[in-house]
Structure 1
Amino acid sequence: MTRTSPPVVSVLRSRHTAYLLFTSLLGRLPGAMAALAIVQLVRSTSGDFGFAGLITAVYVVAGAVGQPLLGRLIDRLGQVAILALSGILSFLAFTGMALTLEPLPGLAVALAAAAGVFTPPLEPALRALWPRLVSPGPQLKAAFSLDAGAQEIIFIIGPLLTVVGIAVFGPVGNLLFAAGLGLIGALAFIVNPAPRAASAHRSSRDAAHPGIRSPILMPAVARVAVFTFGIGVPVGALTIVATASEAARDSDGLAGWILAVNAAGALVGATVVGIRPLGSTPARLLTVCGLLLAVGYLPLVATGLPTWAYVVVAGVSGLMLPPTLGQVFERISQLSPAAALTEANGWVVSAMTLGIGAGTLVAGAIVGAAGTSVVAWVVLGASALTALLSLSVLPRRASVTE
């Protein structure tokens, strides 16, 4: 009897997939390194944490704006040209920011915005390629889950690389190091034949479908973007919850453990659905996955748990993130026209980024005003919002079988 390989294994064995996944993750590293790198650079110069927060927020918001815009350009002009140009411009903007931060802080803020706007949209670019690289059905589901799980790896590696980069290159050199990794990843990604083939295919496709409108104007795509914003909120709030828990328990390093174990839980979730993809359609599963993700964060309400148990439930809260994101990516690939798929993926990337930012901002404001005693209410509020926005993608009668 022939043993069939798990779908995730067959995905990694498919031509180009492992290379594209690796180079995409390499190119995305600045997104996981930049926030800490910028804060540490400001700390080494002016030491103004308010300014550090401002310039970091400008970078993050600009990145959320840039992803769908660059995605739309990719859909029109192809991956190779846009990824190469945006990679170079983002690298130059990072370099300028690092060099002008102390003498010209206003210019540094503008360059931080440019670095964010021109962040190469490798995440949506890869997701637009998955339907071309693997077979529909279990393989495609596994590819999207693998992509979501691999994303967790860079948010574990990114901060560690920042620590190493600062030790080796100093705060300024570390920011250039992060930017250089992003540029290398983007250029390595487009060397592969698959992005070039997609760019060549785009020309004939555009001739057949001229003037296609932005996918975010499609109600179904917009609802998925709103849903994705919702699942980002508790992810962002967790940073504040972890920090507040560390302070309340007077346990140095606890926040790092909570976040690391949460990411490890997400990797476990990604592995499970990579081996055994969820059987139903994304149209049916999105709301269920969103509700389960919201429920998974609720044990963090029990702030009186022993420290070890609290760290364990942080891992449980991460389990559903990759399966949920996998459904998002697959649903977007179903809803968006092929000629606008990169832009559509760019919108959900931006929605997730804004959700994480909103969760961190609001949770930080609440804990800052009321103290660590309100952590349970922060978790409840974030989970409730996720559950509420999960209802926005309940399948309509006419579209259940889409």
Structure 2
Amino acid sequence: MTSARYPIVDVLRTRHTGYLLVTSLLGRLPGAMAALAIVQLVRATSDDFGFAGLVTAVYVVAGAVGQPLLGRLIDRVGQTAVLAVSGILSFLAFAGMALALGTAPGLAVALAAAAGVFTPPLEPALRALWPRLVAPGPQLKAAFILDAGAQEIIFIVGPLLTVLGIAVFGPVGNLLFAGALGLVGAIAFVLNAAPRAASRSRRGAGPRHPGVRSPILIPAVARVAVFTFGIGVPVGALTIVATASEAARSSAGLAGWMLAVNALGALVGATVVGIRPLGSTPARLLTVCGVLLAVGYLPLAATSLPNVAYLVAAGLSGLMLPPTLGQVFERISQLSPAAALTEANGWVVSAMTLGVGAGTLGAGVVVGASGSAAVTWVVLGASALTAALSLIVLPGRAESVPLSVD
């Protein structure tokens, strides 16, 4: 069979794509390691879980703020300098946080914010490169799906690397290890010719003419960002659902297995759609994909299911995430001006991050107040919110022509 039938093969064979994808994933590993690494370090020093939660939340929120800001800077001056400098600053902040967590709590919180703000925006940077690297149509669709599916590898490998890092380097050294991985990934990414070429093309570009100052102010882009927030909510709630279900069933390890199987389901979804990209346009598919993602979580509301069936439900809930994110990435590439594409992708990354955080926080509050019996209502509520926010990107509501950005 020819690769024309499998556009994902053509994407992987295209020059630069494999290297950029791997180095991007390496540089994004701290995002999947930091929460567990911070909790384990605080546990080793003060055993104050409240403080650990605060530091983690500051890091996550600061990262959500930093991604579009750094993305905007990339659109102005190019990828190379921004990614390299932010990688160095984020690593230094990680190192300072690791040393300060046990002795200077206030400084540690400030450094957590710095580590988040300066997280290299590798995710939006790579997505801004895809339209330059692969042909439009099925190949570009497959590239975005491949990108979305590859993210799941981060959240499988990240916690395992954290466990390994603690065993080898100790809690302090492990946080340094996480920061170092981010720095190495960012530097390796910009050493490739494609980001350097993108940087050269930005030199002297400047604003094209007065218009919308940021892509998030384009109504269609803003609606896609709100939609992306919505699909992050059940993803975040799943952590609490899995933990509460494990406690209710007195089944040690169930939560870890649920999250792993969910990630496996996402990889399956990415593989299927990568091989056979969806035929319609993102404008038509976004709402459908969002509703299907919401429906996919509903079986988890049946808390009386046997453990094996509940694990199957966790796997099914992950199937639609990469296809949905793939439509988001492609739609953003259509709606955003080319000169602001990195920032636009940064807003989507932030929206997803905040959605996951909101889902985790909301589910934690509900389960904390009502016990594990509230899992059913958490799942139903998260799915309902996702489905409702999916309606915001119904065809006909989003503009098809991007505006120029000042």
How far, CA to CA, are the matches of 2:140 and 2:20 in structure 1?
15
Counterpart of 2:203? 203
1:340 deviates by: 0.3
The answer on whether the counterparts of 1:283 and 1:401 sit within 8 Å (CA) in structure 2 is no
How far, CA to CA, are the matches of 2:20 and 2:280 in structure 1?
27
> What secondary structure, in the 3-state scheme, does the structure 1 residue paired with 2:125 have?
helix
Counterpart of 1:181? 181
Bigger CA drift: 218-227 or 205-214? 205-214
Q: 1:2 to 1:32 in 2, by over 3 A?
A: closer
1:208 deviates by: 4.3
Q: 1:154 to 1:398 in 2, by over 3 A?
A: closer
AA partner of residue 66 (structure 2): G
Are 2:363 and 1:355 aligned?
A: no
AA partner of residue 82 (structure 1): V
Q: 1:398 to 1:266 in 2, by over 3 A?
A: closer
Counterpart of 2:55? 55
Counterpart of 1:375? 375
Q: 1:316 to 1:23 in 2, by over 3 A?
A: same
Task: Give the alignment of 1:21-36 within 5 angstroms.
Answer: 21-36=21-36
How far, CA to CA, are the matches of 1:176 and 1:387 in structure 2?
40
The answer on whether the counterparts of 1:244 and 1:367 sit within 8 Å (CA) in structure 2 is yes
Deviations 1:17-71 (A, max 9, x none): 0000000000000000000000000000000000000000000000000000000
How far, CA to CA, are the matches of 2:397 and 2:349 in structure 1?
28
Counterpart of 1:158? 158
Deviations 1:110-137 (A, max 9, x none): 0000000000000000000000000000
The answer on whether the counterparts of 2:66 and 2:117 sit within 8 Å (CA) in structure 1 is yes
Are 2:305 and 1:305 aligned?
A: yes
Counterpart of 1:92? 92
How far, CA to CA, are the matches of 1:107 and 1:128 in structure 2?
35
Deviations 1:203-234 (A, max 9, x none): 25436457762000000000000000000000
AA partner of residue 295 (structure 1): V
AA partner of residue 91 (structure 2): F
Q: 1:385 to 1:398 in 2, by over 3 A?
A: closer
Q: 1:50 to 1:207 in 2, by over 3 A?
A: closer
Are 2:288 and 1:288 aligned?
A: yes
Q: How high is the sequence identity, in percent, across the aligned residues?
A: 83
Deviations 1:214-261 (A, max 9, x none): 000000000000000000000000000000000000000000000000
Q: 1:257 to 1:2 in 2, by over 3 A?
A: closer
AA partner of residue 285 (structure 2): L
Deviations 1:266-308 (A, max 9, x none): 0000000100000000000000000000000000011000000
How far, CA to CA, are the matches of 1:211 and 1:391 in structure 2?
28
1:101 deviates by: 1.0
1:102 deviates by: 1.2
1:397 deviates by: 6.6
How far, CA to CA, are the matches of 2:251 and 2:290 in structure 1?
32
AA partner of residue 199 (structure 2): S
User: What is the TM-score normalised by the length of structure 1?
Assistant: 0.98
How far, CA to CA, are the matches of 1:19 and 1:2 in structure 2?
23
Q: 1:82 to 1:399 in 2, by over 3 A?
A: closer
Unaligned stretches of 5+ residues in structure 1: none
How far, CA to CA, are the matches of 2:46 and 2:5 in structure 1?
55
Deviations 1:181-215 (A, max 9, x none): 00000000000000011111112543645776200
Task: Give the alignment of 1:2-401 within 5 angstroms.
Answer: 4-203=4-203, 205-206=205-206, 208=208, 213-396=213-396, 399=399
> What secondary structure, in the 3-state scheme, does the structure 2 residue paired with 1:4 have?
helix
AA partner of residue 296 (structure 2): G
RMSD: 1.5
* Aligned residues between the structures: 402
Q: 1:111 to 1:399 in 2, by over 3 A?
A: closer
Deviations 1:307-353 (A, max 9, x none): 00000010000000000000000000000000000000000000000
User: What is the TM-score normalised by the length of structure 2?
Assistant: 0.97
AA partner of residue 131 (structure 1): P
